[in-house]
Amino acid sequence: MLLLLLEALGAGLLFIVIIWWTMFAGRPKGELPAHDASGDHAPDATASTPQTDSPVPGPKT
């Protein structure tokens, strides 16, 4: 019976360590700043998509 209790305690501690690790092992400087509350934000100027002549990508016919 003692062995079952020790095994349950070990599993519980392992569970807590895994949860703690995943919660606090994020970005070195914390989370990125949040956008405005309305949810509308301008697209990032650095992430541009290539411009093509065709408005819909696909095979040319």
pTM score of the predicted model: 0.43
Dump strand ranges (E) for 1-61.
Answer: none
What residues contact residue 10 under an 8 Å CB cut-off, 6+ apart?
Answer: none
Please give the pLDDT value at position 39: 56
Residue carrying structure tokens 């070195």: 28
- Taking alpha carbons only, the member of 24, 41, 22, 21 closest to residue 33 is 41
Phi first, then psi, for residue 17 (nearest 5°) are -65, -45
* 21 DSSP assignment: H
Residue range 5-60, pLDDT digits in tens = 999 999 999 999 999 888 877 667 766 777 655 555 555 555 555 555 656 666 76
